[in-house]
Amino acid sequence: MEVILELPEQVAASLGYPRETLPRRALEAFLVDECARGHLSRGKVAELLNLSFTQAEALFTSFRLPYPIKSSAEDAADNAQ
């Protein structure tokens, strides 16, 4: 699927990123947001972006997405499966 995102030239210039990096930045932002919403796992985001574990964690950190902390009940439910 192809999605076309139009950014006004002034907005693109004010972001300070090289023009050729903007599509990748938009994809990263979209996938990290979907991860934060619970639609994608951290591992799936890494896979889709072809990142190593370390690279993926650096990406999540740059977006200030903390590692999810589970409650005792969630851990127990996961372990029971």
Q: Where are the domains of the chain?
A: 20-80
User: pLDDT per position in the chain (81 positions), as tens?
Assistant: 888 888 888 888 898 888 888 889 999 999 999 998 989 999 999 999 999 999 999 999 999 887 766 555 655 565 566
* 40/5 Cα distance (integer angstroms): 22
Q: pTM for the complete prediction?
A: 0.74
What pLDDT does 12 receive?
82
What pLDDT does 20 receive?
87
Q: Are 7 and 25 in contact (CB under 8 A)?
A: no
